[in-house]
Amino acid sequence: MKTRVCRLYAQNDIRIETDVIGDPGPGEVLLRMGFGGICGSDLHYYQDGGFGPIRVKEPIILGHEVSGTVAALGSGVSHLQVGMKVAFNPSRACGRCRYCQEGMPRHCLEMRFSGSAMRTPHEQGGFRQHMIVQAEQCIPLRNATSLAHAACAEPLSVALHARSRAGDMTGKQVLVTGAGPIGSLCVAAAREGGAKHIVATDIQDATLEVARQMGADETLNMVRNGGALEPWYADKGQFDVVFECSAAPSAMRDAMSAVRPCGTIVQVGVTGDQTIPLNVLVGKEISLRGTHRFDQEFELAVSLIDSGRIDVGPIITGRYPLDKALEAFEAAADRSRSVKVQLALE
């Protein structure tokens, strides 16, 4: 069967091509893809040819935030049916290495992650019309659930794992710095977790409006009012938890000043070296925690979307057909008007 794919050859070189796909093997399913969200890592591959030491060395199909419909079953697959909508978990841990055995598969030494150039040969992703995957990577959905919403399960999983690193949200004062896709989903995760009051900061009004729709009580534009958080510095800080999603040095300074003594900062945004005021970290006994991808949170994310407990709709600010992939990537890079841009793969 012929199928259309969106393939990246090198920096700024995306091509829509036609491939031939066969039948699923034992334990596999053929998916007719629905939607695929463009992630920050996809943008780095497209704009820069990679990020850090991870470089595109061969043609790769990007995309790990995807959903679809089961089109065919391989032998031995019993929990799925043809015609069933599914969310796709792009993470495949080996289950054998020391970290998998210790219950931390997100740190798997042999991790295979769809649409990633970390390994060679590269792991091919989901920006295509059809894809053969392991059946165990597919989580069934209600028929009424939007495939566009289901494609947001992966980034929501990232936000939910960040929430798990922060601890119980019940009754907490929460600050989210950076209201992009993950920041806005951290807002939603904190709200669903029982946070009392949530403040979101960013430098774009469009993203802040999305954060408000996702559950933020206050939104602050730090370009127009750089001192907007200063009232929260009083009495050594007011926030119990900060999700730092921007990786901007100014945001880390704000986080350190605004978090209360013995509060928690979860660093979600990724960057290179950054100066941290250790005297403040020590003096206020701040817990600074990293967060990386997700584990069992993927199933939780699917459940929250499938049940309607979290409405991810507001973060989806653009949809483009597969043949308009270049336009989609350009739109996704423009944070003044985009939060989450998706490709319609059907």
CATH architecture of 2-152+312-344: Alpha-Beta Complex (3.90)
Query: Is this prediction's pTM over 0.95?
Result: yes
Q: Rounded to an integer, what distance in angstroms lies between the CA atom of residue 174 and that of residue 196?
A: 8
Residue 289 identity: R
Peptide bond just before 261 cis, omega within 30 deg: no
Instruction: Give bridge partners of residue 35 from the DSSP assignment.
Output: 344
User: What are the residue boundaries of the structural domains of the chain, listed by start?
Assistant: 2-152+312-344, 158-290
Query: Residue 12: how many CA atoms within 13 Å on its side-chain side?
Result: 2
Measured between alpha carbons, how far is residue 13 from residues 59, 61, 116, 137, 340 in Å?
Answer: 10, 12, 16, 29, 21
Give pLDDT tens digits along the chain (346 positions). Answer: 999 999 999 999 999 999 999 999 999 999 999 999 999 999 999 999 998 889 999 999 999 999 999 999 999 999 999 999 999 999 999 999 999 999 999 999 999 999 999 999 999 999 999 999 999 999 999 999 999 999 999 999 999 999 999 999 999 999 999 999 999 999 999 999 999 999 999 999 999 999 999 999 999 999 999 999 999 999 999 999 999 999 999 999 999 999 999 999 999 999 888 999 999 999 999 999 999 999 999 999 999 999 999 999 999 999 999 999 999 999 999 999 999 999 999 8
Report the helix count and the strand count for the chain, using DSSP H and E: 10, 20
Phi then psi dihedrals of residue 288, to 5 deg:
-105, 115
CATH T-level assignment (fold) for domain 158-290? Rossmann fold (3.40.50)
Calculated CA dihedral for residues 38, 128, 52, 108, nearest 10 degrees: 100
For residues 214 and 315, what is the distance between their CA atoms, to the nearest angstrom? 8
Dist CA 336 CA 239 (whole Å)? 28
Tens-digit pLDDT profile for residues 225-254: 999 999 999 999 999 999 999 999 999 999
Please state the φ and ψ torsions of residue 173, each to the nearest 5 degrees: -90, 125
Question: 61, exposed or middle or buried, with CB in 10 Å at 0-12, 13-18, 19+?
Answer: buried
Q: Rounded to whole angstroms, how far apart are CA atoms 55 and 122?
A: 10
